[in-house]
Amino acid sequence: MRTPFDAALQERLMRYAAIDSQSDETSDSQPSTAIQLDVSRMLVDELTAMGARDVTLTEYGVVLATVPGTAPGPTIGFCSHVDTAPAFCATGVKPRVHRAYDGTPIRFPDAPDLELSPETVPYLGEKIGCDIVTASGATLLGADDKAGIAIIVTMAEHLLHTPGLAHGPVRLAFTPDEEIGRGVDPRLPADFAVDFAYTLDGSKPGEIEYESFSADGAEVVITGVSIHTGWAKGKLVNALHLAAKVVEMLPQATMTPETTEGRDGFWHVYEMSGTAAEARIKLILRDFELGGLAAKGAMLHAVCDALAATEPRAGIACTIRPQYRNMRYWLEDDMTPVDLARAACRDAGIEPVSTAIRGGTDGSRLTEMGVPCPNIFTGQQEIHGPLEWISVQDMALATRVCLELVQRAARSE
Q: Does residue 144 bind Zn ion (CB under 5 A)?
A: yes
Looking at 115-123, 160-168, 195-203, 348-356, which segment touches Zn ion (CB under 5 A)?
195-203
CB 76 within 8 A of CB 194: yes
Told to judge if 178 belongs to the known catalytic residues of this protein, a careful annotator would answer yes
Least distance to Zn ion from the beta carbon of 106, Å?
22
For Zn ion, the closer of residues 31 and 73 by Cβ is 31
Site string for Zn ion, 219-258 (x = CB under 5 A): ----------------------------------------
> Using alpha carbons only, how large is the chain's radius of gyration in Å?
23
- Which is closer to Zn ion, CB of 103 or CB of 359? 359
Q: Is 362 a catalytic residue?
A: no
Closest CA to 142 of 77, 197, 95, 181: 95
Indicate the residue among 216 and 362 with the shorter CB distance to Zn ion: 362
Q: Specify burial of residue 113 (Cβ count, 10 A radius: 0-12, 13-18, 19+).
A: exposed
Amino acid at 87: A
Q: Does 177 bind Zn ion (CB under 5 A)?
A: no
What span, in angstroms and rounded, lies between the C-alpha atoms of 330 and 320? 23
Size of the site for Zn ion (CB under 5 A): 3
Least Å from the CB of residue 200 to Zn ion: 9
Among 20, 83, 157, 201, binds Zn ion (CB under 5 A): 201
145 binds Zn ion (CB under 5 A): yes
Beta strand pairing call for 132-134 and 96-98: antiparallel
The catalytically annotated residue of 6, 20, 46, 83 is: 83
Q: Which residues are bridge partners to 15 per DSSP? A: none
- Asked if 406 and 76 touch (Cβ cutoff 8 Å), the reply is yes
Q: From CA 271, how far away is CA 404, in angstroms rounded?
A: 44
Catalytic residue among 20, 178, 207, 362: 178
CB 140 → Zn ion: shortest distance, Å?
Answer: 11
CA distance 380 to 394: 9
Determine if 388 is a binding residue for Zn ion (CB under 5 A): no
Q: Is 278 helix (H, G, I), strand (E, B) or coil?
A: strand
Q: Where do contacts with Zn ion occur on this chain (CB under 5 A)?
A: 144-145, 201
Active site residues: 83, 178
